[in-house]
Amino acid sequence: MFKPYKMRKVVIAGSADLLERTIDSLFDLRCLHLIDFKKNVPDFNMGTPLKDAGPSSERLLKLRSAEKVLAVSPASGADIVGKEGAVPVQEVEKDLDGVLKEIDSEIMIKWEARNECENQLRELDRKAEELGPFSDVPLKLEDYEPYLNLAVLVGTVRSDPGPALEKKLSGRGHEVFVTGHKEGHLMVLFVEKRAQDDALKVLLDHGFNEVKPPQGKGLPKAHLANLTAEKERLKKELADLDTELKDLSKGYAKSLLASEEHLRIKVEKAEAPLRFATTPNAFVIEGFVTEAGSDKLKNALSKATDDRLYIEISEPEKEEDIPVALRNPDASRPFEVLTNLVSRPRYDEVDPSILLFIGMPLFYGIMLGDVGYAIVLMVVIALGVMTRVFKFLGMGGAAPQLNAILFLCAIYSFVFGFVYNEFFGFEFFNHSGLASGTVVILPMVHYWEFTIPRFLAFGPTSFPIVRFENVLALLKLTIWIGLAHITIGLIIGFRNKYVSHGLVHAICEKGSWLMILTGGVLMFYFVLRDITGFEQLSYGTAAEVAGLIAIMVGCALLVKGEGAMGLMHLPSLISNTMSYARILAIGLSSTGIALAFNHMSITLFDSGGVYIALGALVLFMGHFTNMLLGILGPGLHSLRLHYVEFFTKFYEGGGTPYFPFGTARRFTTTGPRHHIAPKALDLEPKVMLRIT
């Protein structure tokens, strides 16, 4: 649970004639994490791909191009496999040449024709945009051609230059045409060449920007009409091609997916020798296998090669880069996504996924703590709304895990909603501490109220816990939660350092912080006694002295382990602990917003008339906004407390994920046709959440 699967180092050696059989067997087993050959072993070289690697790669590229053209994807083909069954490899091989031929003769030809239509449409749009401004000018296109004695000036201006031109060119031959344009006015000026410079001065004063007129014959309007007709024809042709491609997609989806999977597997197998050490007559494969799968691996390889392989399975060396396969109960496996978001734990580290499973929903529930919001969140998750949100945010691959995490957080929020007696900010059940004017959802049902003995209390001492009536008590509770959380982190850090570097290193680096934290609590005993509820004891002074000694010894060990600069981080211990007060702050802000909108809406309801509808709108919009904040805020702050305050006490990460050689078949099968695609033998979720 706290440690990954135990790994074993595997070395496989055999003669070259056994290479393909070995690769096939390893691929089907899907349990050996390969180590790439490093090229630093005498007499060994990196292997070369198998003979069919090149042709298979070319075919695979062609198939993937066809899949992209037809928008065929594994997700879209899942239903087909479920209904018709996976395709036997023999059938795929038999039909492969025909599928590739149909891609060339039908699919790609239609795709190229579609691309040509789109290119022609873009060209027509360009021509129409060029002709558009000239369609209102009563001139033919050939009228813009150069003349012997006349200059033709065409361009855009900010304002009509006609009056200024009349004044400047008085007595000299000219004619001007002005029409509307997106940049002001389009102007066409015919003027005697001897007056061209004067005309240009006027035009420049009006922001003249030259435009090259379109070439051709006839009126621009006639050309635009022809372009419009041609565009309509091309759009119809494009729509017909899209329909044909869509029909082809339905017809070829299964064949393409099965062929692509088959070729992808062939290529992966054919290129596997690039990761092996080889000689002209032999090969050596190194990798890691789980302890549970080591016997299965050895037996399968021996059977496949008639016991002709040398197989050595041993305990891995401590300094080796051992791959990590996380090992968690089903309930906590979704939280591996959050662990991987930081980094994969090292092989000798404690896996914090189970700690996230315990802590994050708890903190989330303490913060949100409202029965109404929790129910809405559960319904939203069940309806798939959050799945669509995660896909929109680019986290669709991790949506199942994130939904499971969020649903567990909603359950905790539901439970704490009863603890706080809150339902969308209203009192859920009646209790004796009701303030004047409080709205109760179920006024006839009373809470079972009780008082916690003070010597057992680390916060509020009565139930239910009305948050705004127990702010100080809840603040004390969050500080105790922070102290406990940080202490657990330091204890785990001590264990990690002990395993990786020995006892002395663990005492200096993590034991020192534990002593400082414990000494700090003892040192401030008389302040903390009010928090715990204990009465002042006779050995209070002794406790203070013990705390001071613990702090001094801890500081000395810290200097020895981290150097004098380690003392600079002492204030962070206090800030980390106080940071847990956000658990209370986020909860109070959510409750405060809910109460504010409830009060406003009730006031509007009491006013009657049209204000009732306005009150309903205020109530809905207020709680909708608060709900969005309630989903986001507790999640982010709970993660922050784990990543920043907790993980930094013990977690280093940087482990290598365990990815065994081989791929589960979904659309093909090596046996008879069946209707359920085989699942991969997953030891862990393969989804890695990345935020970009």
Confidence of residue 273 (pLDDT cuts 50, 70, 90): very high
CATH 3.30.70.2170 fits 7-47+276-324, yes or no: yes
Least reliable range by pLDDT among 243-247, 418-422, 532-536, 634-638? 532-536
Least reliable range by pLDDT among 197-211, 362-376, 426-440? 426-440
> In the predicted model, what is the mean pLDDT of residues 209-233?
89
The CA distance from 232 to 490, in Å, is 72
DSSP 86: P
Residue whose structure tokens are 């396969």? 325
Confidence of residue 115 (pLDDT cuts 50, 70, 90): very high
Q: Which has the higher per-residue pLDDT, 90 or 438?
A: 90
The reported pLDDT for the residue numbered 608 is: 82
Q: What is the pLDDT of residues 235-270, one digit of tens each?
A: 999 999 999 888 888 888 888 888 898 999 999 999
Calculate helix-pair angle for 471-501, 512-523, nearest 10 degrees.
Answer: 150
The reported pLDDT for the residue numbered 561 is: 78
Decide if pLDDT at 687 tops 90.
no
Q: Please name the CATH architecture into which domain 141-217 falls.
A: 2-Layer Sandwich (3.30)
Tokens for 482, please give them.
């922070």
Which pTM does this prediction carry?
0.74
| DSSP helix/strand/coil, 313 | strand
Decide if pLDDT at 582 tops 60.
yes
Decide if pLDDT at 340 tops 80.
yes
> In the predicted model, what is the mean pLDDT of residues 142-159?
87
The reported pLDDT for the residue numbered 170 is: 78
Decide if pLDDT at 378 tops 80.
yes
- Amino acid making up residue 634: P
The reported pLDDT for the residue numbered 168 is: 82
> Do 577 and 478 contact (CB within 8 A), yes or no?
no
> Do 326 and 339 contact (CB within 8 A), yes or no?
yes
Confidence of residue 233 (pLDDT cuts 50, 70, 90): very high
Least reliable range by pLDDT among 209-218, 470-479, 504-513, 562-571? 562-571
- CATH topology identical between 7-47+276-324 and 141-217: yes
> In the predicted model, what is the mean pLDDT of residues 583-609?
88
- Structural domain boundaries in the chain: 7-47+276-324, 141-217, 330-649
Average pLDDT, the chain: 83
Least reliable range by pLDDT among 56-65, 243-252, 518-527? 518-527
